[in-house]
């Protein structure tokens, strides 16, 4: 596919990458699971795989629908852009690094603010880890406020279509870190988010909780004190398991619990704000 066509229609990026995703999942299943080379919690279980695929489809649909509104907002904000940036290889690389920096803070906020965790928990609630885990996304990200984190890039002066492309490319690249197949990538571990670093991120071992928020570069975790290397075998999932393969339960259970708490009439405004903005307990 022509690169410029992809920049003009960034929503196609994940669809373009889909054959590669499917090939890698098939390889992980056939070469890893069937030949007994992977641990039990790397197994593909049909109900969970179907749930993961449904979550990806629901996320894509909600992104497409809300994306139209969000791009309108970005185009409006772009009217106030600070710099006139001509896109070339150098400015594209700068955009990728800046977007990855913003992603780090989006991801960190998604773990430390309950409102945002209510969306992100869907990604973490599986107790298995294989390439299909990457498909566990939430249709609630636009409500959680993910789009806010890319606004600085638009204000700096990157055209909205390039910003959306960078966001989706980052998401697409993260597919490759959801595996137990790769133990270590040598020197790349120093700079990049790798399967090893991301396994830690999905761990519920106490020392692994809220660590390794990286998208593509692990340097942000090292700079901001959230890096943890993989030492102990990772136990995957969250401390309050969702215990369902129904994508609607996986998507909405945490929201429902939060709104149940907010419905308590005796809460003061301060207590309500605390329910929404304090760190989650799972
Ligand atoms: Zn996370
Ligand atoms: Zn992940």
pLDDT in tens, 176-226: 999 999 999 999 999 999 999 999 999 999 999 999 999 999 999 999 999
Res 33: pLDDT: 84
Q: For residue 104, which ligand has an atom nearest its CA?
A: 1
Both structure tokens of 240: 């309050």
Distance of CA 269 from the midpoint of ligand 2 (Å):
34
Please state the φ and ψ torsions of residue 203, each to the nearest 5 degrees: -80, 150
Distance of CA 187 from the midpoint of ligand 2 (Å):
21
CA–CA distance, 187 with 98 (Å, rounded to integer): 23
Who contacts 11 (Cβ-Cβ below 8 Å, separation ≥6)? 63, 64, 67, 164, 168
- Domain range list for the chain: 3-277
Res 3: pLDDT: 82
Distance of CA 130 from the midpoint of ligand 1 (Å):
15
Both structure tokens of 170: 């980052």
Res 282: pLDDT: 64
Res 32: pLDDT: 84
Res 5: pLDDT: 86
Distance of CA 241 from the midpoint of ligand 2 (Å):
16
In the block, tokens 């909405």 appear at 252
Listed residue (151, 152, 156) closest to 87, CA to CA: 156
Res 36: pLDDT: 86
Distance of CA 82 from the midpoint of ligand 1 (Å):
32
Residues of the chain whose pLDDT is less than 50? none
Q: For residue 176, which ligand has an atom nearest its CA?
A: 2
CA–CA distance, 278 with 143 (Å, rounded to integer): 17
Condensed to tens digits (0 to 9), the pLDDT of residues 104-130 reads 999 999 999 999 999 999 999 999 999
Res 185: pLDDT: 97
Distance of CA 123 from the midpoint of ligand 1 (Å):
7
Res 9: pLDDT: 85
CA–CA distance, 121 with 106 (Å, rounded to integer): 14
Res 1: pLDDT: 58
Distance of CA 93 from the midpoint of ligand 2 (Å):
23
């Amino acid at each position: 596919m022509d690169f410029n066509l992809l920049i003009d229609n960034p929503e196609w990026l994940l669809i373009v990458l889909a054959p590669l995703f499917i090939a890698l999942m098939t390889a992980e299943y056939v070469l890893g699971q069937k030949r007994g080379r992977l641990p039990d919690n790397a197994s593909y279980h049909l109900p969970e795989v179907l749930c993961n695929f449904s979550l990806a489809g629901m996320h894509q649909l909600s992104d497409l629908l809300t994306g139209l509104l969000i791009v309108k907002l970005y185009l409006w904000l772009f009217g106030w852009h600070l710099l006139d940036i001509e896109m070339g290889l150098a400015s594209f690389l700068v955009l990728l690094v800046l977007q990855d920096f913003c992603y780090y803070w989006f991801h960190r906020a998604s773990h430390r603010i309950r409102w945002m965790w209510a969306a992100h928990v869907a990604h973490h609630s599986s107790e298995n880890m294989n390439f299909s885990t990457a498909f566990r996304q939430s249709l609630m990200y636009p409500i959680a406020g993910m789009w806010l984190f890319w606004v600085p890039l638009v204000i700096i002066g990157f055209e909205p279509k390039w910003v959306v492309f960078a966001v989706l490319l980052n998401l697409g690249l993260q597919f490759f870190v959801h595996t137990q197949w790769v133990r270590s990538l040598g020197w790349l571990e120093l700079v990049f988010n790798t399967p090893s670093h991301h396994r830690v991120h999905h761990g519920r071992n106490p020392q692994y909780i809220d660590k390794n928020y990286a998208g593509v570069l692990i340097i942000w975790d090292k700079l901001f004190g959230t890096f943890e290397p993989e030492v102990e075998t990772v136990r995957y999932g969250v401390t309050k398991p969702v215990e369902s393969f129904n994508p609607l339960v996986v998507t909405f259970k945490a929201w429902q619990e939060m709104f149940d708490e907010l419905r308590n009439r005796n809460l003061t405004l301060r207590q309500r704000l605390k329910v929404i903005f304090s760190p989650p307990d799972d």
